[in-house]
Structure 1
C-alpha cells in the first residue's frame, strides 16, 4: 500500500489511553494544543513548527517515545566556553548542556525552544495555520509516487490536510503552503507540483479515504483523553460518525503568506501582481480561486 495513515493496533490505542491518565510526557503533549499530533502508519509524530520532537510507537507491548538528539541541547545556554590548548574547557557548563531527564511541562517547553532553532518562516506559518484551524487532520503528507510516469519519486510533501463540511458530506482538502518570497511561485514549479499531487491523489483515493477515516477516530479519541484540552472540529466528528468523505484531486489548494502590502501591490511589466499571475497559472490546471489564499500573515488564515 502506497499510502497508509492511522493507529489500527488496538493494543497501542489502549496503551496510549492508559498512559494519558498518568503524569508524564504523553499527558503533557495531550494537554498542549500548540503541539500537532501527526498520525502516521501505526506511529505518531509530535510536531512543533515543522520539527518532530517525539516519535511515538508501540514496541514490546509498551508505548515507546524517542526524540532527535539535537533537541536535547539546552536552548538556554549563553556562556562562552574557553578553548585551551586545543580543548574546550566546559567546566561547570557541561552538566547543563543537555536535557537528560523529563521533568514535566517545563522540559516539554525546553524541547520546543530547541526545535524552534531548526524551523523557518514557512514551517512556522504552517504550524500557525494548523493549530488555529481545528479541522486540520494532518501535516507533512507524503504520498509515494514511485512507478508513476513523469512524476518524481521524491515528490515533495503536502503541507496540510483538513476536513471541510459540504452539502454532500465532508471534503478532504490538501494544501501546499509557500511564503511570498518562494521562487517556486514565479518559476512555475508550484503548478507542476500541484499537478503531480492531483495525479497521485487520484491513484490512491481508496487508501486515502480509509486512512483518514481512521485518523478522524484517532484524533477524536485523543481529544477525549486530553480532558477537552484538544478540540475536535464538527467535520472530524462527522467523519468519525460515518459521514461520506470526499477524496477528490480537485481539492488541492495553495496558501501564500508572509508579505507586506507593498509587496502584494507590486506589479510586473505586464501590470499583474504575483497573486494575479499565480491565480492565472493555477487556473490552467483547474485550481479555482476558492483554493488559492493569500494573506500577509499566517495568523488568522482560515482554511
Structure 2
C-alpha cells in the first residue's frame, strides 16, 4: 500500500463534533474571546491599566486634600471628575496595546496562517477582533473611571476635605469608556496596516499623546490654526463631550484669559461626533482593506 493510499478519506477518522459545523460570526467571536484570555499578556496589561488609573487618582487627590483639607472646603464634583481621569490616557494605551498584541501578534508569530485557514473569510476574523476589543475598551474605560473617581472621593474624605457628588459623573464615566474605545479602534487599524505590535502602539502613543500635547501648548500661545487642529484630534474631540467641559462654555474671553489660557473656538456637537467617527472609521477601514488583500505568510 502506498503512502498516499494510506491517508485516503476513508482511513482518516472524522470528528463528529465538527460535522455540519459552519463558520459564523458568532463562532469566530467566541474563538477570539478564548484566544484573548489564553494569553497572559491580556490579564497583565488590563490589570496594569486599572492599577495605574487608581493610583494616579488616589495619589494626586490625597496630595490636594492634604493641603486644602484644613480650609474645610469640599472638592467640587468636576475636580473629582478630573482626578478620576488622570491616568485614563495611560490606561487607554495599555488596553490598546493588548488589542494590538491580539491582532498584529498573529502575524509576528505566524499564527495568522492557521487562523485564516480555519476562517477563509478574513473579514469575519477582523470584525470579531474589532467588536470584541472595542466593547472591552468601552467597558474597561467606564468601569475603571468610575472606580478611580470613587477612590479619589474617598481620598478627599480621608484628608478631611470632603467631596461633592453629581449625577453628571455617570456621563463622565461613559465618555471615558468612549475615549478608550476610540483609541483601541485606532490601534487595531494601525496594527492591521503595519502588522507590527511595537510600531502600532508607538505610533498611537506618539500621535495621541505627544503630538496632541504639543499642539495644545501651541494653541494656548495664541495660534488659532493650530488650536483648530488640536481641537479635532481624538482626545480633544472626546473631551468636548464631557459635562465638566461645559463649565467653560459660559465663560467670557476675558475670564478665560485671566485664568492664564487662550480662548479657543469650541467644537459644535455635530463636529465632535464627526471627528470621533473619522478617527474610528478611517483606521478600521484601512486595516480591513489591508487584512483582506494582503498575502499572509
Larger Rg: 2
With normalisation by structure 1, the TM-score equals: 0.24
Q: Which has the higher contact order (CA 8 A, sep 6+)?
A: 2
More helix by share: 2
